Amino acid sequence: MTAVLFPGIIVRAKSIFAGRKGPGLFQPLKDVMLLFQKGNVISTTTSYIFKIAPAIGLASVLSATLVLPFGPFPALISFNGDIVFFAYMLGIGKFFLIIAALDTGSAFEGMGANREALYSLLAEPAFFILAGTLAMLTGYSSFNEILIGLYNPDNSYILIYSIISVIVLAQIMQVENSRMPVDDPKTHLELTMIHEVMILDYSGFDKALIHITSWLKFALYSTLIFDVLIPVQWDKGIQFGLFAIIAVSLAVYIGFIESFKVRNKIGRNPVFLFTISVLALLAFVVVLVLTEKMILS
Amino acid sequence: MMEFLIVAFAATLIYLSAAHRFRVFARFMGAQGVLIFGIALLELNEMATANLVLVVAETLLFKGIIVPFMLFYIIRRTQVFKVHAQATPSFYILILNAAALIVSVVIAYTLQNPYINTVFMTVALYALLSGLIIIVTHKLIISHLIGFLIIENAVFLFTIALGNEMPALINIAMLLDIFVGVLIMGFFGMRLKPDTGDLTQLKD
ipTM: 0.76
Rg (CA), chain B: 17
CB-CB contact of A7 with A27 (8 Å)? no
Mean predicted lDDT score pLDDT of chain B: 78
Of A122-126, B55-59, B107-111, where does mean pLDDT reach its minimum? B55-59
Examine the pLDDT at B197 and tell me if it is beyond 70: no
Integer angstrom CA distances of residue B94 from A51, A209, B87, B106, B150: 40, 37, 13, 19, 16
Of A52-66, B64-78, B102-116, B157-171, where does mean pLDDT reach its minimum? B157-171
For range B30-36, the mean pLDDT: 87
- Give the per-residue pLDDT at A151: 74
pLDDT-based confidence at B164, cuts 50/70/90? low
- Give the per-residue pLDDT at A34: 92
- Give the per-residue pLDDT at A139: 82
B9 or A287, which is more confident? B9
pLDDT-based confidence at A164, cuts 50/70/90? confident
Mean predicted lDDT score pLDDT of chain A: 85
For range B52-70, the mean pLDDT: 80
CB-CB contact of B158 with B118 (8 Å)? no
Q: Among residues of chain A, what percentage have pLDDT more than 90?
A: 12
Alpha carbon of B148: minimum distance to chain A alpha carbons (Å): 22
- Tell the burial category of A134 from Cβ atoms under 10 Å away from its Cβ (0-12, 13-18, 19+): buried
Interface of A with B (CB under 8 A): 157, 159-160, 164, 268, 270-272, 274-275, 277-279, 281-282, 285-286, 288-290, 294, 296
Q: Which residues of A touch B14 (CB under 8 A)?
A: 275, 278-279, 282
**Residue range A71-105, pLDDT digits in tens:** 878 888 888 888 889 989 988 988 998 989 888 88
Chain B contact probe: residue of A285, A287, A288 with most B CBs at under 10 A: A285
Examine the pLDDT at A289 and tell me if it is beyond 70: yes
- Give the per-residue pLDDT at A295: 60
Residue of A157, A277, A288 lying closest to B105 (CB–CB): A288
For range A272-292, the mean pLDDT: 85
User: In 3-state terms, what secondary structure has residue A201?
Assistant: coil
Examine the pLDDT at A187 and tell me if it is beyond 90: no
Inter-chain contact B3–A160, Cβ cutoff 8 Å? yes
**Residue range B83-139, pLDDT digits in tens:** 766 667 888 888 999 999 999 988 888 887 777 778 888 888 999 999 999 888 887
Q: How far is CA B119 from the centre of its chain?
A: 18
> Any idea what the Cα angle at residue B106 is, between residues B101 and B112, rounded to 5°?
125
- Give the per-residue pLDDT at A283: 86
Examine the pLDDT at B194 and tell me if it is beyond 70: no
A132 or B170, which is more confident? A132
Its pTM stands at 0.82
The residue type at A62: L
Inter-chain contact B98–A278, Cβ cutoff 8 Å? yes
- Give the per-residue pLDDT at A60: 93
Alpha carbon of A130: minimum distance to chain B alpha carbons (Å): 15
- Tell the burial category of A44 from Cβ atoms under 10 Å away from its Cβ (0-12, 13-18, 19+): exposed
Is it true that the peptide bond before A181 is cis, omega within 30 degrees of 0? yes
- Tell the burial category of B177 from Cβ atoms under 10 Å away from its Cβ (0-12, 13-18, 19+): middle
Q: What is the 3-state secondary structure (H, E, C) of B15-53?
A: HHHHCCEHHHHHHHHHHHHHHHHHHHHHHCCCCCHHHHH
- Give the per-residue pLDDT at A63: 93
User: Which neighbouring-strand residues pair with A70?
Assistant: A73
- Give the per-residue pLDDT at A198: 81
Examine the pLDDT at A272 and tell me if it is beyond 70: yes
Nearest CA in chain B to A284: B102
- Give the per-residue pLDDT at A294: 63
Examine the pLDDT at B195 and tell me if it is beyond 70: no
Nearest CA in chain A to B102: A285
